[in-house]
Structure 1
Amino acid sequence: MKLDPAAQQRLLQLADLERRIAAGGDAPQQTEEDKELAKLTERRNRAQRSAASAKLAVTDMEAEILRIQEDERRLRARERDDKRQLTAETDKEKRRDLEHDRYAAKSRIADLMGELMECHNEVHALRGNYDRQVQDLQELEKKVAEAEAAAGAAPAPEDPSARVDELREGLDAEVLAAYDSRRAENNVGVARFNGRSCSGCYMVLPAADRSRIAAAPADELPECPNCGTYLVRGVA
């Protein structure tokens, strides 16, 4: 196939690009701004989950404090009622039962006071942790908003399919037809010849074939004797 050296290089670029696309290795790339946005969004999402967990811990501890306080109120009412009954009760057996119940109530109240103090200390620490989580989340929300603005303003990455169209527009229809036909046969079409081997099939060619390819006119695309790929020379 006859083709000037500049067009040969263009055709080689087209073949290399279409192979990468077919292999899934030349999909549109993310911009640096998009990558930064994705990273910050993931950090923001983790911070949201952490803040939600911290808030739940505070809510659970506050509920536990309310439960203890309610138990304390009931026990104090019971202790007062036992004391009231003792002032009027004369039966020794009933007085003993009332005294025992009053003692049990007072003992349990003392235990609850200790539990309540521990819970107040813990809820204080949990609220401090929640406040820090919220502050971190707010800072990340601000950074995400800034990253979204930067990503929106950044130029879109080059679409490889657009580059394919551009390369094809610069080549003759007959050249493209020959290339497409050969590519349909061996999935390569055009490849680089490095002086020893074909970059389409990666076979080291015999010396006679290497000499024949090297001696072909500069405006001719010789073929690989092994796979039939058109070979472009003089491209690093």
Structure 2
Amino acid sequence: MKATPAEQQELLRLQSVDTRLAQLAHRLGVLPQAGALGELATREDAARRVRAGAVGTLEDARAELARLESDVALVEARIVRDGDRLTHTSSMKDVNALESELASLRKRRSDLEDQELAVMERVEEAERAVAEIDYEHDGIAAERARLEAERDEAAAGIAVERDQSERDRAAIASAVPEPLLAFYEQRRARGGGIGAALLSRRTCGGCTITLTGSDLEDVRRAAYDDVVQCPECDRILVRTDESGL
């Protein structure tokens, strides 16, 4: 393939921009906030699972308390009913039966009220547990919002640099002959992102191998407009006055 030295040197400018774009893509992929956000997501998921369990415990305790309150209300209603019956009967047999039942009902009410107190304590403990989890979740959410804002700001800065670099690339690429550009892109795809490298002091800038012997002689004998490649890494070698030939 043939290309003027000036056209070949444009490949170095293009490679510089492509390297810059690759660096920007890497920076975008390894933003420090990303790792912290991942850790927060793990903590948030764990807190969500713990909260689900705590809410379940709270709902169970509240349901039990509601049942006990209903039982107490029924017992109190029976106490009122039996007390009213007691005041309106003159039968000693009924009086004795009602007084016995009232004593039993009052004992039952006392037992239920003791159970109520115990369950009320469980409800309060469960409410505190849920509140503590919610407080932790709020802290995680605030930290996540801060990190997301920092990440987005950093990503926006990188996007500005990327957009400018892409414009620079388009301008440089437009000045490179299509066959040479296509060959460069092919070499770049195979060369880990590097398609062209400067030959400086007989050393390839792509693989850092110094040319010697017949490899060096082949490059020396190549015409000024020949597109030569590194015998080691196969990338395009761009020759300049500093190539040491």
Q: Judge same fold: TM > 0.5, yes or no.
A: yes
Query: For residues 147 and 182 of structure 1, what CA distance do their matches in structure 2 show?
Result: 40
Query: Would you say 1:77 and 2:77 are equivalent positions?
Result: yes
Shift of 1:121: 1.5
Query: For residues 41 and 182 of structure 1, what CA distance do their matches in structure 2 show?
Result: 43
Superposition pairs for residues 1-236 of structure 1, below 5 Å?
1-3=3-5, 7-13=10-16, 26=25, 29=28, 32=31, 35=34, 38=37, 42=41, 46=45, 49=48, 53=52, 54=54, 57-78=57-78, 84=85, 88=91, 90=93, 108-143=108-143, 146-147=146-147, 150=150, 155-158=156-159, 160=162, 162-170=164-172, 173-175=175-177, 177-181=179-183, 183-184=185-186, 187-188=189-190, 190-192=195-197, 208-209=214-215, 211-213=217-219, 221-224=227-230, 229-232=235-238
Where does structure 2 lack aligned partners over 5 or more consecutive residues? none
CA contact (8 A) 2:230 2:236 kept: yes
Q: 1:218 to 1:120 in 2, by over 3 A?
A: farther
Q: Secondary structure at the match of 1:231?
A: strand
Where does structure 1 lack aligned partners over 5 or more consecutive residues? none
The number of equivalent residue pairs is 225
Q: 1:71 to 1:208 in 2, by over 3 A?
A: same
CA contact (8 A) 1:44 1:141 kept: no
The alignment-based identity, stated in percent, is 16
After superposition, the C-alpha distances for 1:178-219 in whole angstroms (9 at most, x for unaligned) are 12145358944824489799969xxxx996335523776898
| TM-score for the superposition, normalised by structure 1 | 0.57
How big is the alpha-carbon RMSD for the aligned residues of Structure 1 and Structure 2?
Answer: 5.5
Q: Secondary structure at the match of 2:237?
A: strand
CA contact (8 A) 1:12 1:232 kept: no
Query: For residues 120 and 221 of structure 2, what CA distance do their matches in structure 1 show?
Result: 91
| TM-score for the superposition, normalised by structure 2 | 0.56
CA contact (8 A) 2:187 2:235 kept: no
